[in-house]
Amino acid sequence: MPEPFDIVQFGPNMFFVGGEIDLATAPRLEQAARSCIETGGPTMFDLSAVTFIDSTGIRAFISIARALGERGCVFLHAPQPRVRRVLEIVRIEDMDNVHVESCPNVAFPQAYLEWRPASDLRERFAALRELTAEGA
């Protein structure tokens, strides 16, 4: 019996992933991230419940990072030691926009946050972009 796999989206660019990321499940990972790729920005995958990742899973994260390019980055948060070791072996962090974060906490949300984007979100992001350009 195959191990269960699931992706739970929690917010526009945050995913909790669990089970095995392999040939059978990697396409679901890429599909889940499609809207994040279209809009850009940081995309976080909490991997604390991932028990296994193969080369197909690695390629999925690389594909997401490449598609984001300079418009965003991929954060791989809290992988279990054996998954982190695979990520280290393939040197996924050598990509400019992939970051692996170690964290001992498994911190699934205890409650569900009701959130709606601010009505002036577009203007506020434009102002942040201007601040970034001024600081460069």
Q: What is the pLDDT of residues 11-39, one digit of tens each?
A: 889 999 999 999 999 999 999 999 999 99
Nearest to 74 by CA among 23, 27, 37, 120: 37
Has residue 18 been placed in a domain? yes
How many domains does one find in the chain?
A: 1
Residue 135 has pLDDT above 70, yes or no: no
Burial of 76 per CB tally in 10 Å (0-12, 13-18, 19+)? buried
Has residue 1 been placed in a domain? no
CATH code, domain with 19: 3.30.750.24
Has residue 42 been placed in a domain? yes
Rounded to the nearest integer, the mean pLDDT of the chain is 90
Q: The domain containing residue 22 runs over which residues? A: 6-105
Across-strand partners of 46? 16, 77
Residue 71 has pLDDT above 60, yes or no: yes
Contacts of 96 (CB under 8 A, 6+ apart): none
The pTM score is 0.85
Is 42 strand, coil or helix?
Answer: strand
Comparing 63 with 4, the larger pLDDT belongs to: 63
Has residue 129 been placed in a domain? no
